[in-house]
Structure 1
Amino acid sequence: MFWKLSLRNNPGLQAENQALRYLKQQGLKSVARNFACKSGEIDLIMLDNEKLIFIEVRFRSKSHFGSAAQTINHHKQTKIRKTAAVYLQNHRQHNHRICRFDVIAIDNSDAKYENTLKWIKNAF
């Protein structure tokens, strides 16, 4: 059973759009967006040449409780891995591909309110 994900978080949606634009500029091709199932959700699924990349986008407007990248704990990683396994079970055309888990961390810690984007390849 697939889940319909509602994106009401406007800053989060803007961060995903920013990440998608950035990754496309880097030559990646979009495969899916906001894939969700019972085990969790994956923000972006893209192709980097022949590799299938599962991408978690994290946005933090303030760093009081850590940076965006620091919020991806072991529990979140496990959920993303399980969700990726469900995706691969339902999209067998990608079973031959090498998979990678990346993170796009977007922090807004600048006094000018400009976002800082960091692409972490092979994050976990």
Structure 2
Amino acid sequence: MRVAGALFEQRACDALQQAGLSLLARNFNTRHGELDLVMRHGDTVVFVEVRHRVRATHGDAASSVTAAKQARLISAAQLWLAAHPRHAQRPCRFDVVCYDGPVEGARMSWWRDAFQAG
């Protein structure tokens, strides 16, 4: 599963870079969890959660970003900003990039500003 996760994180990173975002960090680990991608879009720091679901038996990939998961991502983002003070005053947003379906045919959905921090 880790290999598939890395594959989809790379796919998402490539697609977002093509859309004009630049990569600041990848797989930033904290006690609250991991930030898959930290990117910059203009002056905005973008925290990107990448999700993949082969089957929708428990909901699609987007529905797997629960309120509890959002809270962990917000806490991890606060730690990233504390560790990178030059970005701490920039506007921030949380995006979710989802892939649903088998690895070969999974299609990307990009939810910009998917949820708010507080």
Say yes or no: TM over 0.5.
yes
CA separation in 1, counterparts of 2:51 and 2:61?
Answer: 5
RMSD: 1.4
Find the residue that maps to 1:63 and give its secondary structure. coil
Q: Which residue does the alignment assign to 1:121? A: 112
Q: What does residue range 1-124 of structure 1 map to in structure 2 within 5 Å?
A: 9-108=2-101, 113-124=104-115
Find the residue that maps to 2:86 and give its secondary structure. helix
CA separation in 2, counterparts of 1:18 and 1:44?
Answer: 11
Deviation at 1:120, TM superposition (A): 0.1
Q: TM-score, normalised to structure 2's length?
A: 0.93
CA separation in 1, counterparts of 2:86 and 2:5?
Answer: 30
Q: Which amino acid aligns with 2:99?
A: I
Aligned length: 115
Find the residue that maps to 1:58 and give its secondary structure. strand
Deviation sequence 1:75-95 (CA, Å, 0-9, x none):
000000000000111110101
**Gaps spanning 5+ residues in structure 1: where?**
1-7
Identity %, equivalent residues: 35
Q: Residue 11 and residue 109 in structure 1: after superposition, are their counterparts in 2 closer, same or farther (change >3 A)?
A: closer
Find the residue that maps to 2:47 and give its secondary structure. strand
Q: TM-score, normalised to structure 1's length?
A: 0.89
* Kept in 2: contact 1:40–1:79 (CA 8 A): yes
**Gaps spanning 5+ residues in structure 2: where?**
none
Deviation at 1:63, TM superposition (A): 1.2
Tell me which structure has the larger Cα radius of gyration: 1
Q: Which amino acid aligns with 1:98?
A: P
Deviation at 1:65, TM superposition (A): 1.0
Q: Which amino acid aligns with 1:47?
A: R
Find the residue that maps to 1:119 and give its secondary structure. strand
**Segments of 4+ moved more than 3 angstroms:** none
